[in-house]
Chain A
Amino acid sequence: AQSVTQPDIHITVSEGASLELRCNYSYGATPYLFWYVQSPGQGLQLLLKYFSGDTLVQGIKGFEAEFKRSQSSFNLRKPSVHWSDAAEYFCSCRSNFGNEKLTFGTGTRLTIIP
C-alpha cells in the first residue's frame, strides 16, 4: 500500500525567507504526486502536480517542487514566503494505474513571522 510522510508537523519561517516542506512517499512504482494548501476552515487548493517528464514542476503562488526518484521525495519550495502563505500544506500521491484513491500525508502547518 502506498503511503506519504511529511516529517515536519509545524514549521515557522520569517516573511521573505525561503521555504522547503518535505514529503516522502512509499510506492513500488512512480506515483502521481500533488501538493495542496488549505487555509483554516477552507477547502484544499491544488498548488502543483507531477505526472511524468520534467522532475522540477512549477505551481501557483510561486511554489515549485522537485521529484527525486532516488530519494522517493517530492519537496515543496518557495524562494520568498509571504504572510499569506501561512496555512496547512498536504502532500499526496496516487498510483499511476487503476482507480486508486489519493493518499494524503499528515500535513505541515506553516506559520509566518514578520
Chain B
Amino acid sequence: DTEVTQTPKHLVMGMTNKKSLKCEQHMGHRAMYWYKQKAKKPPELMFVYSYEKLSINESVPSRFSPECPNSSLLNLHLHALQPEDSALYLCASSPRGTSGYNEQFFGPGTRLTVL
C-alpha cells in the first residue's frame, strides 16, 4: 500500500455539529501532517505528529483537535466551526519523522463546507 487515504471525500456540516476527518497510511511512515488549503492558495500547515507525538501546532483554534491513535492513523476532530473554515483539508505523511532526507506524501483531501 503506497498511498495516503482520507475519508470522507466531502463533508458538509453546520456550525453546531461535531465531525471528524480521518487519514490513514500503511507505508510505515513516522510523521503525519494536517494542512488546510483555501482556493487558489498553497497548503497551510496546521499540525504535525512525529512518532505519534504532537510536535507542531501552528496556533490552530481549539475548535480543531488532532488525534493520532497509532502510527498509521490521524484524525482531525471538528467542533463549532465557522463558515471561514470551509476549505480542502489535506493529510500528508513522511517516512522518517520530520527531519533529514524526507519528503511528504499527500492524500486526496477532504472538501469541507461549513454552513
Main secondary structure of the interface of A (DSSP, over half): loop
For A25-61 the 0/1 string (1 means CB < 8 A from B) is: 0000000101010000111111001010000000000
- With A99-B50, A101-B56 known to touch, is A41 a contact of B103 (CB < 8 Å)? no
- With A and B bound together, what is the CA distance between A92 and B92 in angstroms? 14
Classify chain B's interface size: 20 to 34
Contact with B48, one of A36, A49, A101, A107 (Cβ below 8 angstroms): A101
What's the least CB distance linking B3 to chain A, in Å? 10
- With A and B bound together, what is the CA distance between A13 and B104 in angstroms? 29
| Cβ B111 vs Cβ A99 within 8 A | no
Classify chain A's interface size: 20 to 34
| Cβ B108 vs Cβ A99 within 8 A | no
Task: Give residues 56-114 of A contacting B (CB, 8 Å).
Answer: 90, 92, 97-102, 104-107
What's the least CB distance linking A112 to chain B, in Å? 19
Task: Give residues 40-94 of B contacting A (CB, 8 Å).
Answer: 40-43, 45, 48, 50, 55-56, 58, 88, 90, 92
Q: Which residues of A contact B (CB under 8 A)?
A: 32, 34, 36, 41-46, 49, 51, 90, 92, 97-102, 104-107
